[in-house]
Amino acid sequence: MSSAKRALPVIDIEPLVSGSASASAVASAHEETTARSLDSASREYGFFHISGHGIAPSCISGAMRACGDFFHLPLEHKLLVRADPDAGEGTGWEPSGAQKLDESRLGEGIDGEQTMGDLKESYILGRPATSQLPPGAKPGELAALWPTSLGAYFRDPLVQYHDECWRVSVALMRGWAIALGKPPDFFLRDTSDPMTKLRLLYYPPVEDARYAEAIGLGAHCDWGALTLLTQDEVGGLEVCAADGAWLPANRAGSDTLLVNVGDMLQRWTNGHFRSSPHRLLKPATAEASRTSIAFFFNCNVDANIDPRQVVPHEVPKWEPILAEAYIVERATATNQQSDV
Ligand SMILES: O=C(O)CCC(=O)C(=O)O
Ligand SMILES: [Fe+2]
């Protein structure tokens, strides 16, 4: 089938959200059906849209509004919350060019070599790994360099959106447990106090000639268990399916979010679920900027990412590793390869 005819599925996850809220020990018939949809999308694409997540439209639009407000701040305000370039992926603002995500040349289909850093600007906050806590921060607290000029009008919608994404991630982990034939609460112990990251993203318009050669976001796979993405209507994100075709992953509707399996879940499931490369060469409309928010869910620091727990009868393709060690390993590797 040609890539033009294939679209990422939209899955209504309401049964899993309800099952997760009631902590039911047995999966309902609706949950079983939803889990089967999750299963096939996670094997074939590693990406799917979700509806029925229960995040209020006002919560999503509030977070996107905060995102726009931040990136329109004058440069001197952003510099006050500049992420420490020596701290790997720390909290705060990263300017355009600070990161080159196509670390392993995943986007080989792109003409020429990606010599510049990614065009995107980012602002990052989240619940870091214990070993990466900023001075004075306690484990389990949100770490952020809040821009004082925006105050609670910026902070409150992002904290609310972060917590909602956490709730939805736990419901998705329940769905994946059911899909794998495990008890619904199989992943619950490992997701009660998770490492998370919220990355606000801004892609400048590319009509500017200085950016002609630049790539918005180099092809990469995400490191954690799962990522939830909300994006504006501009579009341009693409996903590499198992057969190598790049499929569009634009917003499927104003109330849907995009989900993708990250490397940690791929490893945990011994490769049953696919962590797919994705990229954004340019925003789809040349004169438009693009904003999006990625929420990375990286499980508890001591979650044991061991394929033998999930598929005990298979030869494991990966060694067990604790979630914190894994995230730190990936962050360190990216940092070392980034020369910008
Ligand atoms: O901006 C986007 O739509 C995707 C962002 C992304 O893939 C990432 O930050 O890992
Ligand atoms: Fe990503």
Architecture of domain 13-107+117-333: Sandwich (2.60)
Verify whether ligand 1 is closer than 6 Å to residue 100 (CB atom).
no
Verify whether ligand 1 is closer than 6 Å to residue 201 (CB atom).
yes
pLDDT-derived band at 111 (thresholds 50, 70, 90) equals: very low
- Ligand 1: which of 227, 251, 327 to mutate, judged by most atoms within 8 Å of the beta carbon? 227
User: Which DSSP string corresponds to 68-123?
Assistant: HHHHTS-HHHHHTTB--TTSSS-SEEE-TTS----TT-TTTTSSS---SPPS-EEE
Verify whether ligand 1 is closer than 6 Å to residue 260 (CB atom).
no
Between 152-179 and 14-22, two packed helices, what is the crossing angle to 10 degrees? 90
Between 29-44 and 152-179, two packed helices, what is the crossing angle to 10 degrees? 100
Model confidence over 54-82: pLDDT tens digits?
A: 999 999 999 999 999 999 999 999 999 99
Instruction: Give the start-to-end residue ranges of the domains of the chain.
Output: 13-107+117-333
> What's the gap in Å between 221 CA and the centre of ligand 2?
6
| ipTM metric | 0.99
Ligand 1 atom nearest to CA at 216: 1
The backbone torsions φ and ψ at residue 146, rounded to the nearest 5 degrees and listed phi first, read -75, 130
Closest CA to 177 of 18, 315, 25, 300: 25
Q: How many CB atoms lie within 10 A of CB 50?
A: 28
Ligand 1 atom nearest to CA at 231: 3
What is the reported pLDDT for 140? 82
Model confidence over 265-322: pLDDT tens digits?
A: 999 999 999 999 999 988 888 788 999 999 999 999 999 999 999 999 999 999 999 9
Q: How many CB atoms lie within 10 A of CB 53?
A: 24
Verify whether ligand 1 is closer than 6 Å to residue 237 (CB atom).
yes
Identify the residue whose C-alpha is closest to ligand 1 atom 8: 294
User: pTM for this structure?
Assistant: 0.93
